[in-house]
Amino acid sequence: MSSPSVRRTPLPVALLVALAWLFPGLGHALLGRRQRALVFAGVVVVGFAVGLACQGELILPKSGDPLSYFAAVATIGNGILFLLAKLLALGQGIPTATTYEYGNAFLLTAGIMNLLLMLDTYDIAVGKKDW
């Protein structure tokens, strides 16, 4: 029997969190917060799309550049968007483009937002957050 503070979820919490990473907003949708899911998915997808349109780079770790590891975590945080973009050879980045840095900022922000949504999904699923 579960404690009263623990919310019953349709899936194991670890799977919910993994799905929240893979598809932005899906964790919230599975927890019955569909409006929030749509808004959050929109924020992440639009941010990611703007980043690609601005010639941003999907940053992966680079030897000799320790800060690139942090950027890679944020980039991979985009979930399926990152995987699809890599599959389609998008997000190569054009450093000489005037919008390159803006594109990077949008791509990294979208990934960090999705990672925060994973944490929010976890908090709701285990009953630490009610709304």
The tens digit of pLDDT for each residue in 46-100 reads 999 999 999 999 999 999 999 999 999 999 999 999 999 999 999 999 999 999 9
Residue with tokens 């019955």: 32
Residues in Cβ contact with 3 at an 8 Å cutoff, skipping those fewer than 6 apart: none
- Asked if the structure places residue 130 within a domain, the reply is no
- Asked if the structure places residue 7 within a domain, the reply is no
- Asked if the structure places residue 80 within a domain, the reply is yes
- Asked if the structure places residue 131 within a domain, the reply is no
Residue 90 sits in which domain range?
Answer: 13-125
How many domains is the chain partitioned into structurally?
Answer: 1
| One-character DSSP codes across 2-13 | --TTSPP-SS-H
- Asked if the structure places residue 56 within a domain, the reply is yes
| Predicted TM-score of the model (pTM) | 0.89
Q: Are 75 and 115 in contact (CB under 8 A)?
A: no
- Residue 18: alpha-carbon gap to chain centroid: 11
- Asked if the structure places residue 30 within a domain, the reply is yes
- Asked if the structure places residue 3 within a domain, the reply is no
- Residue 10: alpha-carbon gap to chain centroid: 21
